[in-house]
Amino acid sequence: MSDEREQAKWAAARAASTLVESGMVVGLGTGSTAIKFLDLLAERVRREGLEITCVATSEGIGREAGIRGLPMVSGFPDFGPVDLTVDGADEVDPAGNLIKGGGGALLREKLVALASRRVIIVVDPEKHVPELGHTFRLPVEVVPFGWSRTLEALEGLGAEPEIRRQGEGFFRTDQGNLVVDCRIPGIPDPASLHARIKGLSGVVETGLFPGLAHAILTGHPDGTWDLRELKATGAA
């Protein structure tokens, strides 16, 4: 990854870290920009005595939070309302619809987003696309039982599905499910496609996040950033 892109990610993460206030329940996203946010948030906690509790969107990010001394909410992995979630995305279209799940945490990321009063998506400029699906395959989480039949059903919707692998075997999510990465020639209506895929037996969740972001925070290589507010529907 280029130095310029890294600088853009840090700019987005730094801006997002300033949005956290003492007393908040904070959703911790999974991904390269989200981990930078985690570092900066932990620094604020140490330096300012910021009092927060956290909800992690993956086992990995939960471990990283623990290493940095960030506490999880009481009863985690169960959780209630979340004040602010900061997460990344693999693609963002002009309407603020997202593709997520490159790291395999799409189900937990969506559950936390749906519980959040405000969802801020932190990205670098390269994550912005005119239409979803052209540059990044759509992740779909499926149960292991009968997975080949689920792939056939995805093909029936016009996708080119490929099961995600890790080493010699299949990639497994934190729930023990599989991820199918689907090549789709453009997604002009993310909400409709999400509903069609989610309706297939064997599908647990899709990496389409239509209408869940409240704002897109884009960092730039020169250290500046911009925040675009959206009208989130919270219906995905």
Distances (CA, A) of 114 to 20, 101, 125, 173, 215: 18, 15, 25, 19, 14
Q: Which amino acid is at 10?
A: W
User: Whose CA is closest to 89, among 39, 45, 139?
Assistant: 139
Beta carbons of 196 and 157 less than 8 angstroms apart? yes
Residue 109 annotated as catalytic: yes
- Distance of alpha carbon 32 from the chain centroid: 11
Ramachandran class of 117: left when φ > 0, alpha when ψ lies in -120 to 50, beta otherwise: alpha
- Counting beta carbons within 10 angstroms of the beta carbon of residue 25, is it exposed (0 to 12), middle (13 to 18) or buried (19 or more)? buried
Catalytic residue among 64, 91, 109, 205: 109
CA distances from 141 to 4, 87, 102, 210 (A): 32, 19, 11, 17
193-225 in b/e burial notation, b at 16+ Cβ within 10 A? bbebbeebebbbbbbbbbbbbbbbbbbebeeeb
Active site residues: 109
